[in-house]
Amino acid sequence: MATRVTSADVARAAGVSRATVSYVLNNRLDARVTEATREHVLDTARRLGYHGSPAARALRAGRGEIVMLLLPEWNTAGEVGRALREIGRQTTALGLACLRYEGPEWRQRLASLLGMVTAAAVVTFEPLTTEDQEAVAGAGIPEIRAWFLDSPGEPHTTQIDQASVVLTQIDHLMDRGIRELAFVAAEETHDQGFAEARLAAFQTICRERGLRNDRILSVDDDLTELVERLRVWSEDSGRLGVVAFSDFTAVGVLSAAQAAGLQVPAELAVIGVDDARFASLTRPPLTTIKLDLMNEAIAVARKLAAALELPVPEADSQRSPLSVIVRSTT
Amino acid sequence: MATRVTSADVARAAGVSRATVSYVLNNRLDARVTEATREHVLDTARRLGYHGSPAARALRAGRGEIVMLLLPEWNTAGEVGRALREIGRQTTALGLACLRYEGPEWRQRLASLLGMVTAAAVVTFEPLTTEDQEAVAGAGIPEIRAWFLDSPGEPHTTQIDQASVVLTQIDHLMDRGIRELAFVAAEETHDQGFAEARLAAFQTICRERGLRNDRILSVDDDLTELVERLRVWSEDSGRLGVVAFSDFTAVGVLSAAQAAGLQVPAELAVIGVDDARFASLTRPPLTTIKLDLMNEAIAVARKLAAALELPVPEADSQRSPLSVIVRSTT
DNA sequence: TCGATCTGGTTACACGTGTCGACTTGGTAG
DNA sequence: CTACCAAGTCGACACGTGTAACCAGATCGA
């Protein structure tokens, strides 16, 4: 195994001092270096295959180059995944490395984690425990909050809130002339906070519009209860509109609707969220909401750059954060 | 912002030398330290909220404490995600931090990435380009291969190969008396390698057993072709068994079957892969294969420990890597 | 009593980098 | 001829650790 090649090696090979090498590699314009030697150093560095030691640089600079994303156990298949990739891209453009830490394990172990990773900043997607908050503060690292989910008592930092997702769903159903609504969530361990926020929004919006807001159900693997409820609900209303928590849930609703003998979309309309991969493969193809979190991703990158005193990237022009993908279930 | 508290601070506060502090904190048994002073140092360290500088430690040790998982753009919702979490857990148990880098961006940029992250090792799930391979070699870091997918020309390192997945699917269908098989894959950007490997396995196995192996289709959003093919295929065979690439694909098959007027499972049987969340919600509920990658995850951890000369964890007892979740589509 | 051994701890160095102040040079004005 | 200046380099330090080498004092065998 070839031992690491250091800047001293480069200096020796190029016949200059180590300081000069450092100046050239970090191309500091204020240090006066002849163009000839600059080229020479750059060339030998490349020839020797020099890559600086991140540890040494971090030690010297007092700050690392890693941006650590502390992810809850989310499903990253859909738009959330796309947003995370965009954050990664932006971070790379800032000259930093974007790494993810996933799983529930970090919840009280952040201190030991930060004792192993020389992070430049930490990006959170949920409130931290006070203990963890102290850990990140003790490490002298900024915490960037990318909370896509509104959190009680905290000013929300992104433009898309869960309420407007539900609002868009309801608006679409009402545009189709439907005034009898129901909300179906999923019994899941993940994304529980999202489900609660959406449910609350559903109830509020319905109340404001003078609609019934008590048709609510959580569905698990067993669909029998859902079948029963759909039957009852649609008996006392002309045409039922189901606001599904996600496309997964919507699949369950479709199955239950058939079992209940309800025609989709004639007697029962469904609208999901996330435009999952299988949404176009259901029967009938699923109408759903597509989120666009790019603005949020860029917002995160801007906060990051500001906190680290780096050049702040431009905000993208107006993009519509929510759009309805109309297929055949509404 | 409170400045970082160093081991020198602890030493000063405890009235001992910095070396003693270091000995205590890394509790080296060979160094002679009184139990009293040990307690005292440990206490003051806790009181001051001392956390070592990962950068300095890495610089001194010549090796970082980060295990970097270089992930392709996989769907991590199912069993793969569980395996990754297990790898993370094992890594943590080894005293290392397990971070993920995801996205296609690293493909030729590994050198610059390793220039920012002080990694102890790199875990790959696909072959690296030669350029990237040089980068990791130049950094003097071991590469741990966790290739769940068989790769041509490379001895495969895990027990589950794609062929046995397909084998299990076919075995189950044949147990049900089905001898007319078809393979349906998905037109996707991700997981393409998996799809090809599975298709090849399907063709080989069918040939070996003297069955037709030319009923093959890739499905995209448009199901019309699939509907047509299912109709044709089931006309010249009594009962058709469809080997689906994934549960997603299976959903498409179910939709197409209904459109073609075929009863499931009487006239057409389907079996998927992955036991996705929605598999129990389809209509009828989907029979599928559940992978258990825990053995593979532990194998990765063992290789990792061996490469870094750490105590190698025990291999788990025998677990069945593949099991059939029988529901109602077969 | 005196050297040998053990105990509890400290001093000093190295890891690889960024950067400040100092140090050579030519060149030029006084 | 001296004083000064700017351009181009370099020596030296600090960042925070882990650990080998060393040292004062106590204990102990002869």
Residues linked to residue A325 through DSSP beta bridges, in sequence order: A288
* B141-156: pLDDT as tens digits: 999 998 765 554 454 4
Cβ separation B51–A111 shorter than 8 A:
yes
Q: What is the CA radius of gyration of chain A?
A: 26
Cβ separation A102–B85 shorter than 8 A:
yes
Cβ separation A117–B54 shorter than 8 A:
yes
- Total beta-carbon pairs less than 8 A apart between chain A and chain B: 175
Instruction: Give the C-alpha separation, A318 to B249, whole Å.
Output: 36
Instruction: Give the C-alpha separation, B197 to B1, whole Å.
Output: 55
pTM of the entire predicted model: 0.86
For nucleic chain D, give residues with Cβ below 7 angstroms from it: A 15-20, 23, 31-34, 36-37, 56, 59-60, 62; B 4, 6-8, 18-19, 22-23, 25-26, 28, 50, 52-53, 56-57, 59-61
**Are the beta carbons of B84 and B293 closer than 8 angstroms?**
no
Instruction: Give the C-alpha separation, B297 to B299, whole Å.
Output: 5
Per-residue pLDDT of chain B (330 residues; tens, 9 = 90+): 457 899 999 999 999 999 999 999 998 866 678 888 999 999 999 999 899 999 999 999 999 999 999 998 887 877 889 899 999 999 999 999 999 999 767 777 899 999 999 999 999 988 889 999 989 998 889 999 987 655 544 544 454 678 889 999 999 999 999 999 999 998 865 667 788 889 999 999 999 999 999 999 998 888 899 999 999 999 988 899 999 999 989 999 999 999 999 999 999 999 999 898 889 989 899 999 998 888 889 989 999 999 999 999 988 766 778 999 999 999
Closest CA to A277 of B184, B280, B221, B278: B221
On chain A, the residues whose CB falls within 8 A of the CB of B59 are: 53, 55-56, 59
Mutate to test the interface with B, among A112, A283, A309 (most CBs of B within 10 A): A283
Cβ separation A248–B92 shorter than 8 A:
no
On chain A, the residues whose CB falls within 8 A of the CB of B251 are: 251, 278, 281-282
Strand, coil or helix: B129: coil
Instruction: Give the C-alpha separation, A162 to A148, whole Å.
Output: 8
**Are the beta carbons of B151 and B184 closer than 8 angstroms?**
no
